[in-house]
Structure 1
């Protein structure tokens, strides 16, 4: 009855809303993924600025102007730069656009042990990010603005301030708008994809998203979803997420940025009400439970109670004096029920007759009819008749219409975001490797080793860095031993796979080391950076995105968010076909695509997207594939199927547990008592019957033990009387006389 009530409660709660919860959850995750990409871009830029400043070889002759130019000239993203004296806060040099330094207190920046986080400012109506880095000067550094020198002056620091625009914001998914909001809800950047229009979005969403973000607290990666205005048959669905670190204090925690994504989706016109089905299923289960209860009452409980009374009456007759005993034993023992109770009843009536002296021990047939164990098995089969349709037949999901189209589109958009995140990581690896290769020419071997060691320490994505000569031999290496190296030295630069088989995919970036004028020609010397696949795997998982794979041009797995074997095929042929369908024409990069697949593991929403159409990864032909089980999505049809299956499993499990308990507590003790009763009726007076249960069955056992003691005492008395009777004398034969 409890399971029936839970079935009603669970299934009546499944209803089809105008906007399914799965659509709201998908928009929330898209906003979170966009915020994650934005946070990664800001963190990477801040680390690059600090790393460039710390690697700059300042000398006693370095001037602020030369230092500032050396630190910023190679960076195209820099809008303006400034160099300040950290002790006095005095401006030493500037470059590019004017840097808004209002509010920058160089003397009171973060302690030396901590990095200075970026700062969001507005200059000329455009938002900018100020990145900070310390430039350490060697001891006895001369100040060119002073007329005197102080010997043994301790090391001093300059503060580098770089102003850059916000990282490029990208909106994924047709009809979607993405915005970056500041702490006050003002839009700092907007991106539109397809036919979406920023002016058409709900004007109240930015304020609502900012309030929700403030309510979640600062410095967290909180996210959520909102339902905006409704126009005709379309609803505005929005998602928001804070741009903050997930693993503790980060560079973006103090910026107060919030990402807001929104799109208009068609309202769901189909209705889904499972109340009537829930009542029918619960009523059927209640009818089954009632039928089983009545069957057990009339076939087990009532016959057992009658047997309990009869056994007590016979036991009283066996232990009382003859006049009273005769009255108790004169009535036959009625045989009720079947199986074990009938066997005990027949044995008890035989014992009654033996007490009266009407008969002796009686043997019972070895072959008997069905017992109460068969009744328990029949109860399990009856429960299965209700549970099996609930688990395997009823409320099955229609793979064509179950998953709403916006959910499929959201999976594709999230796959494109994941593709951009992987592409950003690989491009950054190549950029860092190119910068390291540019600093190698003209240096000694020891200096080159120091450069590579510093690059390896700064860039955790590399396993090892090594130089190859024209013949493919390693001339210099730092870090771990390369898993495999290229036999033929490539030209140019980019990302490549070094092997096509083995236990671990070897992915590496490479860049040419240019020759130095006036020295031996160094063309063909290439710097390789072997990328750690574990680092690549670590950026693939995202909440509610499902399984993620990175495949090569032959649809073989190179990296995955779940356990995998290198260069193996995708888990099912449907994913392979999906990857191939991204190709518009032979040799083209292709476009992202998504669809619903039905496999042996169930229904899933899958998507695939090419990794890159340009840049160092464009020639790889790699793809990113995702598969999210529909069971993890809050879709009414899927929820109804899950809860129907759960009700069937729960009802069957509880019923089997109850019948199993009945077998342990009632059926098995009855079988034991039936065997002992038949043996007692067959003449076994030595086996003591010990009551195990403190219930009616235990009382029947105690009554049989009293009967056994009475019969054993009567047998002993009979033997004693026979032994004490005097023998008759033998008469002599007449012939003997």
Structure 2
């Protein structure tokens, strides 16, 4: 009996303390934490885009060298020209002898080879790019092995004989850093080296001078390189204050997130910064927290006192009275008269009152003053009603906490900088998708350029090699002028639209089905003087899983890629192909970008009220240039405001949590009291009334070893005494307690 009541009071007081700690801990800082977190995530997204570009370029250099059709008569000069002349991004190239490190051929801008060890080509793993910052603008050196047939004849030989010259070379190409993009009006993005020196800078719109002043670059570089190489480290910083605005910066390592990668040893850090208005703290929840906690503490004490005076104390008195009657029933008459002469006090109400009245009737029957007594079937409210009232009392405190108090306004709860950051991240997500599709188109164009003039078998080999090299493709196929497939490698095409487009780019080749079919396409040029090619357009269907995998980002929420009719083509969450966006507000937001085919479009954002609360949503056109610019596609994001550290939303969440905890604790403890006290009391009340009504056959078995179990054992002794007296009366002997009954009493 005592544990449920004590637990109810103690746990409700604990919830009251947590209410003070939780709600009072919500503070509205001049620069909200959500703004700092948003800048950190923008820096991390920008770093990921830069990392992806470097990884893709390193893979392209290695793949080009691996696919080079070297022969035993290939010279370093012709090999270098073949490997670098077709790629506009290459500033200069060099071929080195792997064994001696001797420069065999060079072209274009001078390649800074200081510190380059050609023997690194002896292994089988990929050679990571290197950053060179001395002697001019920063450059990246990419490496690849070029193996010629003579080396392939004896691959296990690790040294060279005078009669067999070295036939493995090291290709080194130099390129500038990938283009850095800054998103969001007034934002500056920088690429820093290990010392904090800016290697590249991009500015979107008009950036405030305060955004680039101070020691933020050095601080960011120190923080990044102090966090370790094996972590995808990022963070935020606060800079100088100018007027009522303060610089907010975010930094992130340009390093692989899934183990060793091409960018791990470069030591690059991305720093993004912009100025945000320094707001004055307007929200103080300390008074509300104290008032809510005080109200709950009052409820806890009120319930504890009510249960003590209405349940605990009456039950203890009933327990003593039942024991006294049992002793009197088991003793000889002179002693029994003293125990049975005192009436049983009736305490409380409901079941305890019923048991008290029935016990007093049994007392009189033991004294021979009365016979069996019937009790009315209709009774007043019992202790179950008390438990329900207790839950309702706690609910009167919890319901306003959950549904009414500290409600965050849908629009004003989200600060303008947080909304702008969500829009910026939607633009960066759009850039990642565009980057992936542009690479797919570039790779397909390179494959299409190698098809003219070749036999069908040679074309098949080229397509199979391209499919193996580029995992984003699920199928490659050639179309003739009527749209029929003349050659295919990979999975069965998903296309349902039969068309032969001009030029090249990205398109969809179905409008229904379980899987959206997005494809890159490029023209296959005819060779003069030869028979026209069997295929005129090369299509590469892109695996939509490859697009889905690059959409998720921390704290970005759900991300969808939609076509010009706002039908979903790819998403970071589960979806059906070509379904509409899950909310009409998102559809309106996508249309508001005004990114009709042929137009640039602008990103936009808004706060929408959904069934789960405010949602910070943004939409951006997929591309403003390149092969995807004509599509009119959008990238739409939706992040629940509850996931952001916004003071108003945090106060609402913690208020609701306190209400839910209080209601759960009250219901659990009162339910516990109902199971261990109230329900057994109801059963005992029925049994004792039957016993007082003359039922001497039903044996009373105690179920629990507590106060109610003791009352049940006392009732069983009384039943035995009454049953023995009835048998004695029928046989003509005087009534008195039997030896067995006395023994049971002594054992008790």
The answer on 1:212 being equivalent to 2:209 is no
Write the deviation string for residues 628-687 of structure 1: whole angstroms up to 9, x where unpaired.
100000011000000000000000000000000000111011011101101111111121
1:232 Cα deviation from its structure 2 partner:
2.2
Aligned position for 2:16: 4
Aligned position for 1:629: 640
Write the deviation string for residues 198-227 of structure 1: whole angstroms up to 9, x where unpaired.
675232111111111122112432111111
Aligned position for 2:738: none
SS at match of 2:587: helix
Structure 2: distance between partners of 1:603 and 1:115: 47
The answer on 1:520 being equivalent to 2:551 is no
SS at match of 1:617: coil
Superposition map of 1:555-594 within 5 A: 555-583=566-594, 588-594=599-605
1:613 Cα deviation from its structure 2 partner:
1.7
Is the contact between residue 20 and residue 289 of structure 2 (CA under 8 Å) also seen in structure 1?
yes
Of the structure 1 ranges 157-166 and 470-479, higher mean CA displacement relative to structure 2 is found in: 470-479
Aligned position for 2:337: 326
SS at match of 1:279: helix
Aligned position for 1:477: 488
Superposition map of 1:483-494 within 5 A: 483-484=494-495, 486-494=497-505
Aligned position for 1:693: 704
Write the deviation string for residues 375-403 of structure 1: whole angstroms up to 9, x where unpaired.
00111111111100000000000112111
1:485 Cα deviation from its structure 2 partner:
5.1
Structure 2: distance between partners of 1:506 and 1:587: 22
The answer on 1:495 being equivalent to 2:506 is yes
Aligned position for 1:69: 81
1:19 Cα deviation from its structure 2 partner:
0.8
Q: Gaps spanning 5+ residues in structure 1: where?
A: 143-148, 724-737
Structure 2: distance between partners of 1:576 and 1:467: 36
SS at match of 2:201: strand
SS at match of 1:250: coil
Structure 1 pair 585–516 and aligned structure 2 pair: CA distance change class (3 A): closer
Aligned residues: 716
Structure 2: distance between partners of 1:154 and 1:219: 41
Is the contact between residue 515 and residue 523 of structure 1 (CA under 8 Å) also seen in structure 2?
no
1:179 Cα deviation from its structure 2 partner:
0.7
Write the deviation string for residues 564-616 of structure 1: whole angstroms up to 9, x where unpaired.
00111101110011111111789623100111111222101100000112211
Structure 2: distance between partners of 1:558 and 1:385: 48
Of the structure 1 ranges 215-224 and 241-250, higher mean CA displacement relative to structure 2 is found in: 215-224
Is the contact between residue 210 and residue 240 of structure 2 (CA under 8 Å) also seen in structure 1?
no
Find the partner of 2:98 among 66, 75, 86: 86
Aligned position for 1:461: 472
Structure 1 pair 150–696 and aligned structure 2 pair: CA distance change class (3 A): closer
The answer on 1:602 being equivalent to 2:613 is yes
Is the contact between residue 491 and residue 524 of structure 1 (CA under 8 Å) also seen in structure 2?
no
1:528 Cα deviation from its structure 2 partner:
0.7
1:268 Cα deviation from its structure 2 partner:
1.5
TM-score normalised according to structure 2 size? 0.93
The answer on 1:126 being equivalent to 2:137 is yes
1:111 Cα deviation from its structure 2 partner:
4.2
Structure 2: distance between partners of 1:671 and 1:171: 73
Find the partner of 1:251 among 255, 259, 262: 262
Aligned position for 2:352: 341
Structure 1 pair 371–262 and aligned structure 2 pair: CA distance change class (3 A): same
Aligned position for 1:25: 37
SS at match of 1:216: coil
Structure 2: distance between partners of 1:178 and 1:120: 19
Structure 2: distance between partners of 1:255 and 1:288: 62
1:524 Cα deviation from its structure 2 partner:
6.2
1:23 Cα deviation from its structure 2 partner:
0.5
Write the deviation string for residues 86-141 of structure 1: whole angstroms up to 9, x where unpaired.
1111111111111111111112x154310111000025331000001111111189
Write the deviation string for residues 212-254 of structure 1: whole angstroms up to 9, x where unpaired.
1122112432111111122222111111100000111100000
Find the partner of 1:160 among 171, 185, 192: 171
Superposition map of 1:349-388 within 5 A: 349-388=360-399
Superposition map of 1:160-239 within 5 A: 160-197=171-208, 200-239=211-250
Structure 2: distance between partners of 1:320 and 1:184: 97
Aligned position for 1:445: 456
Aligned position for 2:312: 301
Structure 1 pair 698–204 and aligned structure 2 pair: CA distance change class (3 A): same
Aligned position for 2:274: 263
Is the contact between residue 402 and residue 657 of structure 2 (CA under 8 Å) also seen in structure 1?
yes
Which aligned runs of 4 or more in structure 1 are off by greater than 3 angstroms?
149-155, 197-200, 584-587
The answer on 1:49 being equivalent to 2:61 is yes
Structure 2: distance between partners of 1:547 and 1:235: 30
Structure 1: distance between partners of 2:680 and 2:244: 67
1:325 Cα deviation from its structure 2 partner:
1.3
TM-score normalised according to structure 1 size? 0.95
Write the deviation string for residues 478-522 of structure 1: whole angstroms up to 9, x where unpaired.
111112254221111111000111111111111111111111123
SS at match of 2:399: helix
Structure 1 pair 367–140 and aligned structure 2 pair: CA distance change class (3 A): closer
Aligned position for 2:112: 100
Aligned position for 1:38: 50
The answer on 1:511 being equivalent to 2:489 is no
The answer on 1:289 being equivalent to 2:293 is no
Is the contact between residue 202 and residue 236 of structure 1 (CA under 8 Å) also seen in structure 2?
no
Aligned position for 1:645: 656
Structure 2: distance between partners of 1:501 and 1:151: 66
Find the partner of 2:683 among 672, 683, 690: 672
1:364 Cα deviation from its structure 2 partner:
1.1
Aligned position for 1:146: none
SS at match of 2:262: coil
Structure 1 pair 39–134 and aligned structure 2 pair: CA distance change class (3 A): same
The answer on 1:16 being equivalent to 2:31 is no
Structure 1: distance between partners of 2:177 and 2:595: 33
Aligned position for 1:727: none
Find the partner of 1:396 among 383, 404, 407: 407
Structure 1 pair 141–296 and aligned structure 2 pair: CA distance change class (3 A): closer
Structure 1 pair 481–587 and aligned structure 2 pair: CA distance change class (3 A): closer
Of the structure 1 ranges 489-498 and 560-569, higher mean CA displacement relative to structure 2 is found in: 489-498
Aligned position for 2:745: none
Structure 2: distance between partners of 1:44 and 1:217: 24
SS at match of 1:162: strand
Aligned position for 1:733: none
1:720 Cα deviation from its structure 2 partner:
2.0
The answer on 1:60 being equivalent to 2:67 is no
The answer on 1:719 being equivalent to 2:737 is no
Structure 1: distance between partners of 2:502 and 2:571: 29
Structure 1: distance between partners of 2:210 and 2:407: 42
Structure 1 pair 155–566 and aligned structure 2 pair: CA distance change class (3 A): farther
Is the contact between residue 120 and residue 128 of structure 1 (CA under 8 Å) also seen in structure 2?
yes
SS at match of 2:73: coil
Is the contact between residue 141 and residue 153 of structure 1 (CA under 8 Å) also seen in structure 2?
no
Structure 2: distance between partners of 1:321 and 1:152: 126
Structure 2: distance between partners of 1:475 and 1:383: 75
Q: Gaps spanning 5+ residues in structure 2: where?
A: 1-12, 154-159, 735-748
Of the structure 1 ranges 535-544 and 315-324, higher mean CA displacement relative to structure 2 is found in: 315-324
Structure 1: distance between partners of 2:597 and 2:280: 40
